[in-house]
Amino acid sequence: RLYRVSRLYPKSFLRLILIGFALVSLPLIFALGNAAFNVQHLAEQSERAVREAAVATRASREMLETLTGMERALRQYLVLRENSLLEDYRRQHGEFLQATREYARLPLDEAGRSRLVAVLAREQKLLSALNDGSAVSGDEFSAIVEQVRGVLAASGRLVDLEIDRLRTTALDARSTLTWQLLAAIPVALGIALWFRTIISSQLQQVDRAIRTIGRAEYSDGITVAGPQDLAYLGRRLDWLRRRLAELEEQKNRFLRHVSHDLKTPLTSIREGAQLLGEGVPGPLNEQQKTIISIIDQNSRRLQQLIEELINYQQAGFAASSIDPQPVALDVVCTQVLRTHRLVAAARAIRFERKLTPLLVEGDADKLRVVVDNLITNAIKFSPREGSIHVELTKREGLAVLDVVDQGAGVAAEERERVFEPFFRGTRARRGTVKGSGLGLAIAKEYVLAHRGKIEVVEEGSGGHFRVKLPLNWEKKD
């Protein structure tokens, strides 16, 4: 396979996570930013409304106070005809104009502005009449005052309308913010799930690659597409795959050579000893026959040790080669006991069996090796004229196989180590039992390959081994 990194991915896995975090945050940031903008706009609008209301209130008060003073000065002037009163009226007229100019800066509607202009024109006409000495009525000024009060009342209604607009704007802003948050949350969650899928797919590539190596499947190359650091990790895993494939090939070649190089001369030794034992070169005396028997016995033992060593090396990769099929475990146990019948009879050992018919998912050959190694171990350590109890039952959805002998048993401190390769135990080393210490190790490898468990049971005085196997199991990656 070619190693390549898609241009759609960033350069590093960390950067991919940061981009995902940024994209997830964008909808929320947009909603919060829009909310801040609306709040700021509402605050500015409120500030402007308050300022305009304050200006309108002050200008209205000044206009009314000035008009009151002007009306008083006008009425006194009409009675007393003193020029000082007229000057006082003119002065207050200037203040009135200044107040109206300030009031005119407010955002008045066209009708209000037109009425204000009409008031100013009417008051200016009244002033011109006073300056010309024409006859003027006090009631005329009272009409102007009432007209001004109408203009100010209309402006008050404008302020109320502005307050209503502020309230409406605030409600609209709250509604908009609510909908934006309701929309931003699922969008953010959707983006987060999307990036979770992307990141999970990247990690699953690495996980599949590691599981492929763990299953000792070295034929296919490993490719991890994604950011550069993950792609680099994929290249290192593929290098590890190639290296392990080389080591596996070297190991298999070594085992083939060992098997051939050791078995070939060993076969010659056995054949030679057999020919000597049969008297082909000539008759043998009793001492020579004893020596030939020892040679034949030990050559057979050496061949068995070589085969056990090779079997143990192969057992380490049992899980990858298991093809689960329905296996009648009680039938397997019966067949194994039948093959050991003559060996047990030679030492007057009897089998006590209680086999419940059970079907398990597994490899029949490897399960047969497990049962065979347990029975062989029990025969080795059983005393002459002893008994071996073999029981197969179903407990808690598991097939449970118990093999119990009447031997010395396993020391408490050695129960964890008894399944280690080449470990024979203190009691076995002190006795006359010969063995390689690989039988139980091979049994453990095969049991673990079936997702099961093998253990030493502490009950009783003899050796008690228990195997638990699931009735159904799925072969995992």
Interatomic CA distance for residues 4 and 224, integer angstroms: 8
Residue 227 sits at φ, ψ, to 5 deg, of: -60, 160
Q: Which two tokens stand for residue 416?
A: 């964890």
Q: Is the pLDDT of residue 476 over 60?
A: no
Residue 438 sits at φ, ψ, to 5 deg, of: -110, -20
The model's pLDDT over 54-91, given as tens digits with 9 standing for 90+, comes to 777 777 777 778 888 887 887 887 778 888 888 888 88
Please say whether the beta carbons of 34 and 246 come within 8 A. no
Residues 375-412 as b/e (b if ≥16 CB within 10 A, e otherwise) read bbbbbbbbeeebbbbbbbeeeeebbbbbbbbbbbbbee
Strands 387-395 and 350-355 come out as: parallel
Predicted confidence at residue 371, as pLDDT, reads 92
Please say whether the beta carbons of 23 and 147 come within 8 A. no
Interatomic CA distance for residues 405 and 382, integer angstroms: 6
Model-wide pTM > 0.95: no
Q: Which strands make up the sheet holding 464-470, listed edge to edge?
A: 350-355, 387-395, 398-404, 464-470, 453-456
Interatomic CA distance for residues 427 and 463, integer angstroms: 12
Q: Which DSSP category does 472 fall into? A: S
Q: Which two tokens stand for residue 6?
A: 């898609």
Residue 466 sits at φ, ψ, to 5 deg, of: -130, 135
Q: Which two tokens stand for residue 8?
A: 């759609």
Predicted confidence at residue 357, as pLDDT, reads 92
Residue 357 sits at φ, ψ, to 5 deg, of: -60, 120
The residues facing 325 across adjacent strands are 362
Nearest to 440 by CA among 460, 419, 471, 467: 419
- Written as one string, the DSSP assignment of 65-79 is HHHHHHHHHHHHHHH
Predicted confidence at residue 429, as pLDDT, reads 44
Positive or negative, the CA dihedral 449, 452, 453, 459 is: negative
Q: Average pLDDT in the 244-260 region?
A: 74
The residues facing 387 across adjacent strands are 350
The model's pLDDT over 412-428, given as tens digits with 9 standing for 90+, comes to 777 777 877 766 665 55
Interatomic CA distance for residues 367 and 451, integer angstroms: 12
Which range has highest mean pLDDT (150-154, 202-206, 371-375, 443-447)? 371-375
Q: Which two tokens stand for residue 142?
A: 């009272």
Q: Pseudo-torsion of CA 275, 279, 285, 289, nearest 10°?
A: 30
Interatomic CA distance for residues 379 and 332, integer angstroms: 18
Strands 350-355 and 325-328 come out as: unpaired
- Per-residue pLDDT band at 8 (split at 50, 70, 90): low
Predicted confidence at residue 306, as pLDDT, reads 72
Residue 424, CB-side half-sphere exposure with 13 Å CA sphere: 14
Interatomic CA distance for residues 205 and 201, integer angstroms: 6
Strands 398-404 and 453-456 come out as: unpaired
Q: Which two tokens stand for residue 404?
A: 């119990």
Q: Which two tokens stand for residue 395?
A: 């407990």
Please say whether the beta carbons of 112 and 152 come within 8 A. no
Predicted confidence at residue 397, as pLDDT, reads 86
Q: Which DSSP category does 431 fall into? A: S
Q: Which two tokens stand for residue 196?
A: 């979770």
Q: Is the pLDDT of residue 394 over 80?
A: yes
Q: Is the pLDDT of residue 280 over 80?
A: no
Residues in the chain: 477
Q: Is the pLDDT of residue 133 over 70?
A: yes
